[in-house]
Amino acid sequence: MTQKYDAVLFDLLTALIDSWAVWNRAAGSEEAGRRWRAEYLKLTYGCGAYRPYETLVAEAAESVGLGTAYADRLEAAWNDLQAWPGVDATLAQLKQRHRLGIVTNCSERLGRAAAARVNVPFDVVVTSERAGFYKPDPRPYRLALNELGLPASRVLFVAGSGFDLIGTARVGLDTYWHNRVGLMPPPGAPRPLRESPDITGVLDLV
């Protein structure tokens, strides 16, 4: 049977991993964690050229009144990151016929540590630090495509944030939005091929 895609790329910290729970615990409550995470996302997506991920996390904590020491609490809890339910099984099934990769807004050190929390090996791991730019700048996605040696038409992207929809549209990547926590799309974001809180729907598209 002919398959539509040769590879699948994933956002890491929202599409594959429940980083929200770790942020909330580090902040002391869900409300504080979401405010902190929202501020961090605003800084990241407005950043463009790479500034240290850890710096942005600390600046966001200070901006919402938590203080920069909370960034150390988050990093100390990094090994508590867990994949969303269904992720390992879905990726294991995909791995049988597809190459798999990650494109993540993270430092090289923390991005690779988070990727290791998923129990399926990846062929490509692109962090914003290595690409030199944060998503939704097209360069991190293009670097992943270059390392896969594939055109965008042969690769499906699984987004975690609606901002990924902006970036993937710029490089021509079909996109499935695994919107696990019910995020709102940013203004002007293109529609995904499909949006679902369940990652297993990816299997229907490949």
The per-residue pLDDT for range 163-173, each reduced to its tens digit, is 999 999 999 99
pTM for this entry? 0.95
159 touches 171 (CB < 8 A): no
Tell which phi-psi region holds residue 113, choosing left (phi > 0), alpha (psi between -120 and 50) or beta. Answer: alpha
Helical segments of 10-137, H only: 19-27, 30-45, 53-63, 69-76, 87-95, 108-115, 128-131
User: In Å, how far are 7, 34, 127, 165 from 151, measured between CA atoms?
Assistant: 10, 36, 20, 18
CA dist 96 and 68 (Å) reads 43
Q: Which domains does the chain have, with CATH numbers?
A: 7-18+81-205 (3.40.50.1000), 19-79 (1.10.150)
pLDDT digits (tens, 9 = 90+) for 2-60: 789 999 999 999 999 999 999 999 999 999 999 999 899 888 888 889 999 999 999 99
Q: Which two tokens stand for residue 29?
A: 């409550």
pLDDT digits (tens, 9 = 90+) for 190-205: 999 999 999 999 999 9
CA dist 33 and 21 (Å) reads 8
User: In Å, how far are 62, 76, 123, 139, 169 from 46, measured between CA atoms?
Assistant: 17, 26, 29, 15, 18
Q: What is the mean pLDDT of residues 141-162?
A: 97
Q: How many CA atoms within 13 Å lie on the side-chain side of 195?
A: 15
Summary mean pLDDT of the chain: 95
